[in-house]
Amino acid sequence: MENPIEKSLTELVISRIKAENPRSQEILVALVRHLHGFIRDVEPTEAEWRTAIDFLTRTGQTCDDKRQEFILFSDVLGVSMLVDAINHRAQSDSTATTVTGPFHALARFYESGDTIARGKEAERGEPTVVSGSVLDSNGQPLKNATLDVWQSDDIGYYDVQDVNQPEMNLRGVFKTNEAGEFWFRTIKPAAYPIPTDGPVGELLRASGRHAMRPAHIHFWIKAPGYKDLITHLFVAGDKYLDSDAVFGVKDSLILDFEKKANAADARKWNVSTPFYHVHFDFKLESK
Ligand SMILES: [Fe+2]
């Protein structure tokens, strides 16, 4: 038999919410309504409720200044990409967006053409040139736009996951020139598993899901008067493009990393042969 509290509790909790800010009111009321709905659907045992509390507690405890387990949690549930989709509904000519992910860090500025690969990664990885432009939605170049770039190494680790990598390896910030162009050198990124040694890893295993993300380079592009563009460039041919653990792949962001062996090309870009070259023009949406 239904306990009378089951019927009345949701409305009672909602009746106590008297937020000053109307948006806070809307969010808090919806939170209680949906959370109570979820509990009514699932009817957890008290042991299951404790498991959930323990999961959330450990998710928080796993976060520090280098690791963001809550973003990972949001990513693997598709919440990050749903927020992204809701916030970028308008069909425009601007470049498609995708998740920020948990590995962004504040990197230093580099000069155009510099390499962001250092240490063993620079010796071992496959040299790669990334070039392109930052444009407005009409195709006009944007000078002095900043491109904040970060990526995994050739075996799929970010600097923050790997004590053997130099700090801030494979990340850097570049500026576009007068013609809106940029270029930099790096190594070809590899597919990688998102961290599976914490609560989110347990969640994936319990769900029968793999943890892999297809190889990509992250970009966070800013220009005054334009909306920030947070996106990736994915390496065409990667076997995980159809099953990204965080649902972040969009077709327009999959690019050929063209293999080149021509010595004149290599001299032009200041790399050794063979090397990979990927070129992309980013389009920003005005504010
Ligand atoms: Fe990534």
Supply the mean pLDDT for the chain.
95
Ligand 1 centre to CA of 217 (Å) is 7
pLDDT for res 166: 92
Ligand 1 centre to CA of 218 (Å) is 6
Task: Examine the pLDDT at 152 and tell me if it is beyond 70.
Answer: yes
2-26 tens-digit pLDDT: 788 988 999 999 999 999 999 999 9
Ligand 1 centre to CA of 184 (Å) is 18
Ligand 1 centre to CA of 271 (Å) is 24
pLDDT for res 248: 96
Task: Examine the pLDDT at 278 and tell me if it is beyond 90.
Answer: yes
**Residues in the 5 Å CB sphere of ion ligand 1:** 101
Residue with tokens 């600097």: 159
pLDDT for res 102: 84
pLDDT for res 4: 86
CB 220 within 8 A of CB 277: no
The pTM of the whole model exceeds 0.85: yes
20-52 tens-digit pLDDT: 999 999 999 999 999 999 999 999 999 999 999
Ligand 1 centre to CA of 156 (Å) is 9
Ligand 1 centre to CA of 183 (Å) is 20
Ligand 1 centre to CA of 241 (Å) is 13
155-193 tens-digit pLDDT: 999 998 888 999 999 999 999 999 999 999 999 999 999
CB 79 within 8 A of CB 34: no
Rounded Cα distance between 209 and 243, Å, is 10
Ligand 1 centre to CA of 163 (Å) is 18
Ligand 1 centre to CA of 277 (Å) is 19
CA-wise closest residue to 149 among 162, 177, 168, 166: 168
- Both tokens of residue 64? 């520090």
Ligand 1 centre to CA of 148 (Å) is 13
Rounded Cα distance between 271 and 138, Å, is 33
How is 111-177 classified by DSSP, letter by letter? Answer: -TT-B---HHHHHHSPEEEEEEEEE-TTS-B-TT-EEEEEE--TTS--GGG-TTSPTTTTEEEEE--
Residue 96: band (very low, low, confident or very high) from pLDDT cuts 50, 70, 90? very high
pLDDT for res 178: 97
Task: Examine the pLDDT at 137 and tell me if it is beyond 90.
Answer: no
Task: Examine the pLDDT at 197 and tell me if it is beyond 90.
Answer: yes
Over residues 211-232, the mean pLDDT reads 96
Rounded Cα distance between 78 and 84, Å, is 10
Longest dimension (CA), the chain: 81
Cα dihedral sign for 11, 12, 15, 19? negative
Rounded Cα distance between 133 and 52, Å, is 46
Ligand 1 centre to CA of 187 (Å) is 14
pLDDT for res 285: 92
- In sequence order, the 6+-apart residues with CB closer than 8 A to the CB of 69 are 59, 60, 62, 63, 102, 195, 198, 199, 200
Ligand 1 centre to CA of 18 (Å) is 40
pLDDT for res 91: 63
Ligand 1 centre to CA of 31 (Å) is 30
Residue 92: band (very low, low, confident or very high) from pLDDT cuts 50, 70, 90? confident
